[in-house]
Structure 1
Amino acid sequence: MSTGTGADSAPAPTAHDSQPTTRPAGTAGTGRNSSMFSSLKIRNYRLFFMGQVVSNIGTWMQRIAQDWLVLSLTGSSTAVGVTTALQFLPMLLFGLYGGVLVDRLRKRPVLLVTQAAMALTALALAVLTLSGSVQIWHVYVAALAVGLATVVDNPARQTFVSELVGPGQLQNAVSLNSANFQSARLVGPAVAGLMITGVGTGWAFLFNGLSFVAPIAGLLLMRARDLHVVERAPRGKGQLREGLHYVAGRPELLWTVVLVGFIGTFGFNFPVYLSAFADDVFHAGAGSYSLFNTLMAIGSLAGALLAARRGTSRMRVLIGAAVAFGAMELVAATAPSLWLFALIMVPIGMFGMTVNVTANTGIQMTTDPAMRGRVMALYMMVFLGGSPVGAPIAGWITDAYGVRAGLAAGGAVAAAAAVTIGLILARVGNLRLSVVWNHGHPRVRFVRREKEELAAVA
């Protein structure tokens, strides 16, 4: 995956052009977004986005096909869990080291290697499955290989966005990336289901392997001179520790990562909650489980598009969305009917995506470019690593006290964490909450205490 920036009028260099040149101030990619899709005006980002439309659908198809194949081979849900763990474990163990590498290296060549590695893995699994010789250990090895590639691919993709679009279009581009992913989440599983029942799981793996042609072609076609210059970190000792100290010394980064950790660990355990609500509470079966996920994906897509239109990344938006996310989970936990519960999935998805996009963009925009890979690796490690930690906790609460109690506990923790971190950041920034009535409507915001004191004296 990748993103793009640059004027279309610039002559195209060859694929071997290595060092992007400095972009002058005031070029495309600066200033406030003018529309929901403004970053798509940038040629390099457009190539990236179109590549990901195809690749993300393939990725979702492989996720469904992989789980189905494991169940077919073993009949064991535990084996499915092992496969998922193998895919996410490398990020938990080596994610920070991946960030160190990304800060040292040029992003586009790194992405060409990681995307090609994942393509070859999918194609190998397709050949084994279509030939009838696939065994469970083959799937385990493939999942681990994808996980190892993701260690570098994930922070590289996240940080490459800023090189493609620059700071002025960063939130718009990150939001559109999220919208792209959520759209694929709606299409990919449906296509995978049809393909698995029609021709078999092997063809889904084959489609995913071939889908990487699109992002790889986009990377090769990008104009290197249109990329925004980003300082690369020199090779040296203690760079991992340096990255951790960097985050620890900046409250706006530290507390954003902490908040995302709480929400990811306790609030995003939807595979546990939604399946239990479908079966145990509403007794409606797999169809309702699919409906819940679809409506949540629609809400997530709406949240991503609204974030793209908003064009700014503010801490108050992050805190407010996190509080609303937790509050909506509390409301959903008490929903008396299936259809009311299903409808509440839309705002839950919307507020959850707002938290994700706002935190992602805010971290990238406030981080030194030479540190961005390490900081984003920490962010993704906390975000992706939260669910494997929180899922057993959510499962235990659900088994012991019921799924309504489990969902309510997750929402309460998310909302409480958001309120607490909001108060901490307000104290660090010497802010206080101000409520002003404007044309009959309350306007809530944080203001600096010094400004209010000066106004009172005047």
Structure 2
Amino acid sequence: MAQEHSISENWKKPFFLIWTGQSFSLIGSMLVQFALVWWMTEKTGSAAVLATATVVSILPQILLGPFAGALVDRWNRKRVMIVADAVTALATLALVFLFWSGKIQVWHLFVAEFVRALGGTFHWPAMSASTSLMVPEKHLSRIAGINQALQGILGIIAPPLGAFLMGLLPIYSVLSIDIVTATLAIIPLFFVHIPQPLKKLEGVVTPRQVLRDVREGFRYLASWPGMLILLGMATLIN
């Protein structure tokens, strides 16, 4: 039994409604990251603390990244994005309370970084996969270019904006911006239809099925030497 989908001729409005919300969420996340690094540097001055925070923030991607795509393909992508954005916002909300109450400790930041990274590990595969079903194929490369340009622009804007806000506001106020932007990202998802891919009705998803999908993905990469080279270069650069 298959679930069919078709791309509407009026795809731009629903797609860019979601895209705009996710763009706000992205700048909010970048501001949070900058604010936390600023605070850890100022309060601890420890390279070990910063290194630990970095490791914690990439750990979910390393451990779960290979499985996230396989799971997202079998789950409702709209729900995945809503839950991921909500979890990220809740982690930030916890930090806001801890900073406001003066009870913040470094290990709190590590936990929050891990939870936020965990949300991102599932969110971005869901968003990327949804894009391919919402946007006509002839426009996919253009949208990919827009996304890359957006990340580059926001990556340039976020540090000076974060520094300005940190000089103007207490850190819990800066972190609160991320909660607002996450809310702006979640709201459109309730009103926009995100199609699901064609799939077979397989019942309950089992670990064996997920591992099978992951193995198929690695086999596909192994058959494409050029992609392996690009992935290796990206890994080294990052």
Q: TM-score, normalised by structure 2?
A: 0.87
Partner of 2:89: 119
**Distance in 1, Cα, partners of 2:37 & 2:75:** 34
* Structure 1 letter corresponding to 2:9: A
**Distance in 2, Cα, partners of 1:249 & 1:89:** 24
Partner of 2:6: 23
Partner of 2:29: 59
Q: Secondary structure at the match of 1:238?
A: helix
Partner of 1:152: 122
Describe the superposition over 1:175-194 as per-residue Cα deviations: whole angstroms up to 9, x where unpaired: 22222222221222211100
Q: Secondary structure at the match of 2:190?
A: helix
Q: What are the residue-to-residue correspondences of 1:339-354 with 2, within 5 Å? A: none
Describe the superposition over 1:58-113 as per-residue Cα deviations: whole angstroms up to 9, x where unpaired: 11111110111212332202101111110111110121222222111110011111
Gap runs ≥5 in structure 1: 1-19, 30-40, 269-386, 388-458
1:42 to 12, 24, 38: 12
2:79 to 82, 93, 109: 109
Runs of 4+ in 1 over 3 A off after TM superposition: 247-254
Q: Does 1:77 align with 2:47?
A: yes
1:231 to 180, 189, 198: 198
Q: How many angstroms does 1:237 deviate by?
A: 4.9
Q: What are the residue-to-residue correspondences of 1:86-235 with 2, within 5 Å? A: 86-222=56-192, 224=193, 227-232=194-199, 234=202, 235=205
Q: How many angstroms does 1:231 deviate by?
A: 2.0
For the pair shown, which has the larger CA radius of gyration, 1 or 2? 1
Q: Which has the higher contact order (CA 8 A, sep 6+)?
A: 2
Describe the superposition over 1:227-246 as per-residue Cα deviations: whole angstroms up to 9, x where unpaired: 44512463245334423442
Gap runs ≥5 in structure 2: none
CA RMSD of aligned residues (A): 2.5
**Distance in 2, Cα, partners of 1:130 & 1:249:** 50
Higher helix share: 2
Q: Secondary structure at the match of 2:5?
A: coil
Q: Secondary structure at the match of 1:221?
A: coil
Distance 1:236 1:133, change over 3 A: closer
Partner of 1:362: none
CA contact (8 A) 2:25 2:178 kept: yes
- Worse-superposed segment, 108-117 or 251-260: 251-260
**Distance in 2, Cα, partners of 1:185 & 1:110:** 25
CA contact (8 A) 1:23 1:229 kept: no
Partner of 1:68: 38
Q: Secondary structure at the match of 1:213?
A: helix
Q: TM-score, normalised by structure 1?
A: 0.47
CA contact (8 A) 2:4 2:197 kept: no
Identity %: 21
**Distance in 2, Cα, partners of 1:236 & 1:55:** 32
CA contact (8 A) 1:105 1:232 kept: no
CA contact (8 A) 1:49 1:177 kept: no
Distance 1:260 1:243, change over 3 A: farther
**Distance in 1, Cα, partners of 2:57 & 2:221:** 31
**Distance in 1, Cα, partners of 2:93 & 2:73:** 30
**Distance in 1, Cα, partners of 2:98 & 2:52:** 20
Distance 1:64 1:231, change over 3 A: same
